[in-house]
Structures are given as structure tokens and as C-alpha cells.
Amino acid sequence: MTVLGLRADEGLQLDNQLCFKLYAASRAVIRAYKPMLDKLGLTYPQYLAMLVLWEWQQQPPALPTIKALGERLLLDSGTLTPLLKRLELQGLLQRKRSASDEREVHLALTSSGCALREQVLPLKNQLLCERTVDLDAVTALRNQVGVLLDQLTELSH
């Protein structure tokens, strides 16, 4: 019997596990980003949060809240709140309770948070240039992983 083109006895080999390849690739990407992020004073999860907040500067959602950010990053508020507190302490964003619903916390970038975006662009380009990465292959892979993520997310709802 074969599954995904593998014999049954090959199905449990580590190198045949998509989950392992995704996990190892994710760790390698985060390691590659670390020097850039160290220059910016950000952790990788903080960087991801800032990416969304920069997106929201261009096209804000109806409610730029912690809840909306958590949904966008697939993170719960218990993970997100300490991360946002640290970004606020760094002067990159402001958190403000809603006047109409105290449980709702709105987010806004500070001028320093907006300015940080301009520092990221050249560093990100440098990061890609330093590595011999096929950008077309990376784009195709990102799209395929996006489809997989959407399918797996649908299954869990």
C-alpha cells in the first residue's frame, strides 16, 4: 500500500514528513531573519505583528484591535498581549481601551513604529540578496503553503 507516493514502511520516516520539513524550514527562516531583527530590536513574533500593523496603516480594518491582530496572526490574546506590551514599551505602538467596550483594545502605531518600516525595507532586501534563493520558487512555495494553511484552518473550524 502507498500513501502520498510512499510505501507504508517509509511513511513514518522523518525526512518524509511534511510537518518536519515545514518546521525545520520555519526555524531556518527565523534564524536567517535574526541578525536583521536584532538591528531593529525586534523578535520574530514582534516583527510579524509590526508587519500587520504596517499593512493596517495602508488599509485599516474596521476595528484595529488586539482581537483582530490575533486573528490575522493566528495567535491567542495570551500570547499576543505580552508581545504588544513590549512593543508599547519600545514606543512603537499604543494600546487604548475602547470607550464603548472596555474589553476591546485598539492598536495604533506611533511615529517611531511607522518610521521603523522604512528601516526594514533595505534590511529585508539585503537579507534576500545575501542568500542564493530562487525568488520565483520561494513565491510559489509561499503560495502552496498558503493553500495548505487555508485547507487545514478550514478543517479545524
Residue 96 lies in a domain: yes
Residue 81 lies in a domain: yes
Q: What pLDDT sits at residue 23?
A: 96
Residue 120 lies in a domain: yes
Q: What pLDDT sits at residue 114?
A: 96
117's grid cell: 518600516
Q: What pLDDT sits at residue 2?
A: 58
Closest of 31, 106, 29, 35 to residue 65, by C-alpha: 106
44: CATH: 1.10.10.10
Residue 154 lies in a domain: no
CA distance 116 to 114: 5
Residue 124 lies in a domain: yes
pLDDT in tens, the chain (157 residues): 556 677 767 778 999 999 999 999 999 989 999 999 999 999 999 999 999 999 999 998 888 999 999 999 999 989 999 999 999 999 999 999 988 888 889 999 999 999 999 999 888 778 777 777 788 888 899 999 999 999 998 877 6
Residue 5 lies in a domain: no
Q: Which domain holds residue 37?
A: 32-128
Residue 103 lies in a domain: yes
Residue 11 lies in a domain: no
Count of domains observed in the chain: 1
Q: What pLDDT sits at residue 133?
A: 78
